[in-house]
Structure 1
Amino acid sequence: MKKIIFDCDNTMGVAGCDVDDGLALIYLLGKSSAEVLGITTTYGNSDVETVYANTVRMLSDLGRSDIPVLKGCASKEQLESEAAEYILKTVRANKGNISLLATGSLTNLYAAYLLDHTILEQITEVVLMGGIQQELIINGILLNELNFSCDPAATACVLKNARNLSIITGNHCLDAFFAKQEFNERLSSCDQPIGKYIVQTCSY
């Protein structure tokens, strides 16, 4: 069983904001080979207060309020948070068996590193969503890099010190585009309640 800390800026269900973090969470919760130990919230898609409240609500909707949600650093200038403390405590308690998936700014990981300079080396694998390989154009709009630029110092620290590191850039998301009609038809007709939940939550 892979034990996961999900460090994210989940705004699925917040009108006008991205849905990718929430969909990633639903995927993780449906994997029998994965256990989400906790979710640490960060800024990026929105401010940390919005992300925190939205993630707590989403877990309640999904019947998974048993998973702890920890509020992270509000900005790259604030380097103390319950999320950083949680990362430290959980990694130490599960030595050699923690995967950390980070899909927002990396300030929480940096804050944990500042408390213990060995902590990134103790995480079994670190998977990041960020960076670009070429121009990132979505709906005809040229976008900037999505996560690493939120906190360059944190990004540099994680890239330098994490072991078993994987990076998924925004360019990988482009292959997942589909029409709204197909989205509604496929998920509304899904036998699983989660299909209808995704339609309702992502309809905007």
Structure 2
Amino acid sequence: MLPTPLFLDCDTGIDDSLALLYLLTRPDVEITGIASTAGNVATDTVVENNLAWLELCGRTDIPVHPGSPVPLVTPLRTAEDTHGPHGTGYARLATAVTAPSPVDAAHAWCRAASTHADRLVGLAIGPLTNLALALRLDPDLPTRLDRLVIMGGAFGVPGNTTPVAEWNMVVDPEAAAEVFAAFDRPDAPDPLVCGLDVTEQMSFTPAHAQRLADAAPGTRVAGYLTDALRFYFEFHDAQGEGYQAFVHDPLAAMVALDPDRASTTPAHLAVELEGALTRAMTVADRRGMLGAPNVRLVTGADVDAMLDELVDALARLGVAIG
């Protein structure tokens, strides 16, 4: 069978890095391109991180597309307190010599959907700015995707950035609203949305980090990730969440490749844009009050098995590239 074409859109911080490296271990996946989105860090830094990880893994064949430096409406806010000044915690990746693609992220989304029509899997694990801009260029883009998986939102749990809203939604709520509206059509797949209620069950612990270090001793991958995760552990601990790290994005990556490993429920999803206290809140209507379903919310997954798979995959990658 041909590998599954996948287009990745990310704001590469620590958990984005884990997701990218995991995807690189999957021989059944062809990453057709990586859109670099401003969020955890600025767009230029996201581009640098994506290029550096790809060079480390010997995958400079994958194009990295610079995205918009700012959200659609609001000023950019970044999360260096969460991911470190470079987006990789205490890790300092080698400076990449590969140049980014001259094609911007929005046009790259459109090109990937056209080239791999009806087969492309879209995976958006950062703010949805670039996807929203792509939909403005090509409103029919949703009809050309096999599926779209989004990490974002908070459903039935508190937000991690405001009392009610999750980070990716807060950075660019207008973009998120445009994306969900664009996919609200009968000839497009309903996006699979992985919110905090599920992704915060994906808790990477020092024990997982030690398993990775023991399985890939002295390797660059294990060394970089140990340094990155230590920063992530310290951040979560300072937030009163314990010395652990919620690795949201690898869960979304695994669901993108195998949706059957997650339980889902249909809902109509809208993003609040006006509320003084609720801006960027994701409102999930499961009862049809707002209209027919336009997404499927991921409601559960075997996170223990996913964490084991993630550690094993990263260790194999570390051993393979040294």
- Deviation, structure 1 residue 40: 0.4
2:26 pairs with 1:31:
yes
> What is aligned with 2:115?
93
Whether contact under 8 Å (2:72, 2:172) holds in the other structure is: no
Contact 1:91 1:98 (8 Å CA) reproduced: yes
Partner of 2:181: 160
The answer on whether the counterparts of 2:72 and 2:175 sit within 8 Å (CA) in structure 1 is no
Match of 2:208 among 183, 196, 201: 183
From 4, 7, 12, the equivalent of 1:5 is: 7
User: Conserved in 1, the CA contact under 8 Å of 2:110 and 2:141?
Assistant: yes
The 3-state SS of whatever aligns with 1:126 is strand
Aligned length: 192
1:198 aligns with 2:233: no
Of residues 50, 57, 81, the one that matches 1:62 is 57
Displacement of 1:61: 1.4
Q: CA–CA distance in 2 between the matches of 1:174 and 1:106?
A: 20
**1:172 matched to 2:198:** yes
- Distance, in Å, in 2 between the alignment partners of 1:191 and 1:105 is 32
Q: CA deviation at 1:201?
A: 4.2
DSSP 3-state at the match of 2:34: strand
Equivalent position amino acid for 1:115 in 2: L
Structure 1 position 66, deviation (Å): 1.3
What residue is the counterpart of 1:16 in the other structure? Answer: none
1:147 to 168, 172, 178: 168
Q: Distance in 2 between matches of 1:114 and 1:33?
A: 31
AA at the equivalent of 1:126? L
Q: Do residues 107 (structure 1) and 129 (structure 2) align?
A: yes
Between the aligned partners of 2:8 and 2:27, the Cα distance in structure 1 is 16
Measure how far apart 1:137 and its partner are.
7.3
- Contact 1:2–1:99 at 8 Å: present in 2 too? yes
Unpaired stretches in structure 1, ≥5 consecutive residues: 12-18
Going from structure 1 to structure 2, the CA distance change for 1:147 and 1:70 (only over 3 Å counts) comes to same
Query: 1:177–1:85: structure 2 CA closer, same or farther, 3 Å change rule?
Result: same
Deviations 1:63-92 (A, max 9, x none): 1111100000111238xx711111111211
Q: What's 1:15 paired with?
A: none
Computed over aligned residues only, the root mean square deviation of the Cα atoms, in angstroms, reads: 2.3
Contact kept in structure 2, 1:190 and 1:196, CA below 8 Å: no
Aligned-residue offset at 1:117 = 1.2
Structure 2, gaps ≥5 residues long: 74-102, 232-322
Displacement of 1:189: 0.9
TM-score after normalising by structure 2: 0.55
Please say which of residues 185-194 and 161-170 is displaced more in the overlay.
Answer: 185-194
**Structure 1, residues 72-120: CA drift from partner, whole Å, max 9, x if none?**
0111238xx7111111112111111111100111111111111111112
Q: Does 1:120 align with 2:147?
A: no
In 1, are the aligned partners of 2:10 and 2:36 still within 8 Å (CA)? yes
- Paired residue for 1:45, among 21, 40, 61? 40
Aligned to 2:307: none
- Please state how far the C-alpha of 1:168 moved relative to its aligned partner: 0.4
Q: Greater CA deviation, 35-44 or 162-171?
A: 162-171
Conserved in 1, the CA contact under 8 Å of 2:34 and 2:63?
yes
Provide the residue aligned with 1:14 in structure 2: none
